[in-house]
Amino acid sequence: MSDAVQTQSNSKFKKRVFSGIQPSGGLTLGNYLGAVKRFVQLQNEEIETIYCMVDLHAITVWQDPEQLKNNTRQLAAFYIASGLNPEKSILFNQSAVSEHAELGWIFNCVARMGWMKRMTQFKDKAGKNAENASLGLFGYPALMAADILAYHATHVPVGDDQKQHLELTRDIAAKFNHDFGVDFFPMIDPVIGGPAARVMSLRDGSKKMSKSDPSDQSRINMSDDADSIAQKFRKAKTDPDALPSEELGLENRPEAKNLVAIYAALGDQSVEQVLSDVGGKQFSEFKPMLVERAVETLSPITGEMNRLMQDVSEIDRVLKDGADKARAIAAPILQRTYDIVGLLRPERS
Ligand code: AMP
Ligand code: TRP
């Protein structure tokens, strides 16, 4: 992929954060620590923040229509319960703002087949039966680029698994700018990092914690109660050694490394800080500390999600309001994009 224009200056673009999560059900601790917790931190730094429930991405694989509506509201509840404030952040679902799909189409005509074929997430999701995958799943990253660039967003917080898609977003922006001789779309900066950029399975430290893992024991779900959280961490795979007092000592100990990283991320600490406290302890002593910290953080979020889901009219109101605000930013950017591409579209009243 070309990185020809990636050095262009972003100084003309105001700092603006965009990210999204698919409402495909089954939110995990990975989604919380890798994504939403960081969304909240950025919101609280007083940067302009826009967070989306990407329902158009969810339907790249089959979704039951009733479930999808419920999952979208559930994800909105998760955002709000985790600390996203609709007064500070724009919260909305992707399909409510048609500019995403419109810009997605234009980017389908900018992105190249060869770029898409290299996407590891497509290969993973399509599996052996790629011929039977939807065209939408193949084009998924072009729509993702549209989500971000429809707002001229500059910063995108995501977990480590989305890095390749963000590189593609830069390639699409660079090619568009180059082909049309403009400096219109920004070169985004990924915001990836911290101890929980990649939360691993509790059963296998070499696999990502995922809602699609067949074993429920492999993950902490945002819907798990205190007893299940305790039971899952108690049974989490470890090794027989005590915890080291320095990060180097976690090398080649993927499960130990993962539990320490989760503990650190939950408490806003670095791995080094945690190890200087718990180095020398056995897992029999460390696991109860981890359970306590996890339950303390997650239980209020789960409780608040359940409360919010009892009256979805409030969630629907937040989403409508968010969609109106999002459209107000995206519509003029789309209008200008049509003009640059040479598509005739009368200004809308
Ligand atoms: P998804 O559920 O695949 O739509 O992911 C939503 C967000 O959560 C993305 O930013 C992912 O990178 C992040 N995420 C999902 N699973 C994990 C994980 N195990 N560790 C860290 N981040 C994750
Ligand atoms: N692809 C992301 C995921 O699976 C979700 C997503 C869609 C996204 N559009 C986005 C993330 C725009 C950041 C910005 O997790």
The number of the ligand 1 atom at minimal distance from the alpha carbon of 22 is: 4
Q: What is the pLDDT of residue 180?
A: 98
Catalytic residue among 208, 232, 257, 287: 208
Residues 228-278: tens digit of each pLDDT: 999 999 999 999 999 999 999 999 999 999 999 999 999 999 999 999 999
pLDDT bracket for residue 224 (50, 70, 90): very high
Pocket test for ligand 2, best of 57, 189, 199 (most atoms within 8 A of CB): 57
pLDDT bracket for residue 60 (50, 70, 90): very high
Give me ligand 1 centre to Cα 55, in Å.
15
**For ligand 1, is residue 221 a contact (CB within 6 Å)?**
no
CA distance linking residue 204 with residue 18, whole number of Å: 31
* Active site annotation includes 207: no
Summarize the confidence of residues 276-294 as an average pLDDT: 97
62-65 contacts: CB < 8 A, separation 24 or more? 63/24
Q: What is the pLDDT of residue 127?
A: 87
Residues 78-114: tens digit of each pLDDT: 999 999 999 999 999 999 999 999 999 999 999 999 9
Q: What is the pLDDT of residue 72?
A: 98
Neighbours of 235 (CB within 10 A): 12
Q: Is the pLDDT of residue 6 over 80?
A: no
* Active site annotation includes 211: yes
Q: Is the pLDDT of residue 1 over 50?
A: no
User: Is 51 strand, coil or helix?
Assistant: strand
Distances (CA, A) of 254 to 77, 161, 215, 272, 328: 32, 17, 18, 16, 46
pLDDT bracket for residue 9 (50, 70, 90): low
Q: Is the pLDDT of residue 284 over 60?
A: yes
Cα 326 to chain centroid, rounded? 18
Residues 146-172: tens digit of each pLDDT: 999 999 999 999 999 999 999 999 999
Q: Is the pLDDT of residue 332 over 70?
A: yes
**For ligand 1, is residue 209 a contact (CB within 6 Å)?**
yes
Q: What is the pLDDT of residue 5?
A: 39
Q: What is the pLDDT of residue 7?
A: 42
pLDDT bracket for residue 3 (50, 70, 90): very low
Q: Flag the least confident range among 8-12, 148-152, 278-282, 345-349.
A: 8-12
Give me ligand 1 centre to Cα 70, in Å.
20
As a whole number, the mean pLDDT across the chain is 95
16-21 β-sheet, strand order: 89-93, 48-53, 16-21, 155-157, 189-191
Locate all alpha helices (DSSP H) within the chain, ordered by sequence.
29-31, 37-44, 55-58, 65-82, 99-108, 113-117, 120-126, 135-149, 163-180, 226-235, 254-266, 271-278, 283-309, 312-341
By percentage, how much of the chain surpasses pLDDT 70?
Answer: 97
Q: What is the pLDDT of residue 348?
A: 73
Give me ligand 2 centre to Cα 18, in Å.
9
Residues 138-152: tens digit of each pLDDT: 999 999 999 999 999
**For ligand 2, is residue 144 a contact (CB within 6 Å)?**
yes
Q: Is the pLDDT of residue 213 over 50?
A: yes
* Active site annotation includes 15: no
Task: Note whether 91 and 51 are within 8 A (CB).
Answer: yes
**For ligand 2, is residue 57 a contact (CB within 6 Å)?**
yes
Ligand nearest to the CA of 156: 2
